[in-house]
Structure 1
């Protein structure tokens, strides 16, 4: 089973505007609402690719029912824990004139100790040998930053594979437990290493070091520059694909979904990176956090394969 964990989901409200004027009244040309949060976004893309997934985490407040209805409509197995607090709403501002994407994210609800223990008990009872567990996104404000580390350790004890897409202190704690696979972006990896930025050579050396420590696969996403994929067998670099950008929100989550799909289907390292690149490209060409379709991904696969090269160690 593929299990995605989203502890701080959000309703993503995407507003498209032709030229934002700060300090003035702005009127959106279009607005769309999508249930989101990194783990949920991963589940949405996995379903688009034809793979079943169970989604869990916390949901509460006025939009809980809307989330559950959408999850059911998408064919995602809903195992979220109900909480007293309100699930957050995030604002995504797409300025077509200035070609910018701006996110305004709500911190999220406070989770009680009882609600957290209910989730941990469910997680412990649900994860089994051979499962792929995706721990993705930020944590609610009062949740201990070492939680991803704890969940990684619990899943590994069950002989499940853990995929991490996180940042900051929660990423640091997770890496201490050596998850199976991680997908930091360039900035997140630099922050983890205590640097402002990384050269391409530094990205490769850092990812290779993490693999040598015991993390089996590392994909570093680099936006329009493409991505770098390091495993025990390969060091591969994929150049970015040229697409019309409609929204960058959820592109990284789509790449995580591709990694999980590839792992589940036992694809080669080369085909894994090609799929991740194609899925990321399809995602940015899709409005809001709507999941890209399998057909859209397949349109980019040939170009993705052509742009991959092996880096000699």
Structure 2
């Protein structure tokens, strides 16, 4: 079973405008809403590719029933801890004239001590040997910064495979438990290194330092510049694909889904990177945080393979 953890889910509200002007009245051309949060986004993509998963984490407030209903409608299983606080709404502003994308993310609900304890107990119950656990996204300030380290330790002790996609202290703490795979972007990796990573060699060396700390595989997303995938057997660099960008939200989550999907399918490292590139490229061509589908990624797979070199 695949288990995705979303500690700070959000309703993603996307406003499409022309010529967005701060400080003025702006009128949206269209609005869409998608349930989200990084783990939930991963589950949405996996479902489109025939992989069933269970979403867990925290849900609360007047959005709780909306999330549960939407997940059920999509055929995605869920087992959330229901909290007293409110699930947040994140607002995405898309300016079609300037081709600019602005995110305004709310901080999220306070997680009370009893709610955190309930979640840890639930997590210990649902994770089994052979499971794949995805720990991705941020957490509200009320959640301990070592939460992903704790969850990684629990999952690995039960024989599960753990993939982490986080930043800052959450990421740094998770590394201490030796996750099987991680997917930082270049900014998150730079934060960890304490300096800006300027070249591919910088990124490769930083990825290998993570592996020296006990991480099994490292996928580094580089936005429009592509990505790099480093394992004990190989290191590959993929150049970016040129696509018509409609939303930048969720591309990294789709790449995480590609890592899970590729592992379940037994793809080699180069095929895994090509899938990650195709999943990410297809996602940015969709509005809001829609999940990409097999037909969405099909035009990009061969192109992605042709742009991969070993480093």
- TM-score normalized by the length of structure 2: 0.99
State how 1:202-281 maps to structure 2 within 5 Å: 202-281=202-281
Q: Report the RMSD for the aligned CA atoms in angstroms.
A: 0.8
Which moves more between the two structures, 281-290 or 209-218? 209-218
1:61 aligned onto 2:65: no
Q: Counterpart in 2 of 1:52?
A: 52
- 1:153-205, Cα deviation, whole Å (9 max, x unpaired): 11110011110000000000001111000000000000011113432210011
Between the aligned partners of 1:28 and 1:39, the Cα distance in structure 2 is: 28
- 1:119-142, Cα deviation, whole Å (9 max, x unpaired): 100000110111110000000121
State how 1:15-164 maps to structure 2 within 5 Å: 15-164=15-164
1:282 aligned onto 2:274: no
Task: Tell me the SS of whatever aligns to 1:58.
Answer: strand
Contact 1:190 1:198 in 2 (8 A): no
Between the aligned partners of 1:112 and 1:158, the Cα distance in structure 2 is: 26
State how 1:273-312 maps to structure 2 within 5 Å: 273-311=273-311
Between the aligned partners of 2:310 and 2:196, the Cα distance in structure 1 is: 27
Where does the alignment leave 5 or more consecutive residues of structure 1 unmatched? none
Between the aligned partners of 1:66 and 1:308, the Cα distance in structure 2 is: 41
Between the aligned partners of 1:185 and 1:36, the Cα distance in structure 2 is: 19
Task: Tell me the SS of whatever aligns to 1:164.
Answer: strand
Q: CA deviation at 1:213?
A: 2.9
Q: CA deviation at 1:297?
A: 1.1
Runs (4+) of structure 1 exceeding 6 A deviation are: none
Between the aligned partners of 1:212 and 1:188, the Cα distance in structure 2 is: 18
- TM-score normalized by the length of structure 1: 0.98
Q: CA deviation at 1:32?
A: 0.2
Q: CA deviation at 1:50?
A: 1.0
Between the aligned partners of 1:44 and 1:89, the Cα distance in structure 2 is: 18
Q: CA deviation at 1:210?
A: 1.6
Which moves more between the two structures, 212-221 or 161-170? 212-221
Q: Counterpart in 1 of 2:186?
A: 186
Between the aligned partners of 2:142 and 2:237, the Cα distance in structure 1 is: 38
How many pairs align?
A: 311
Which moves more between the two structures, 87-96 or 190-199? 190-199
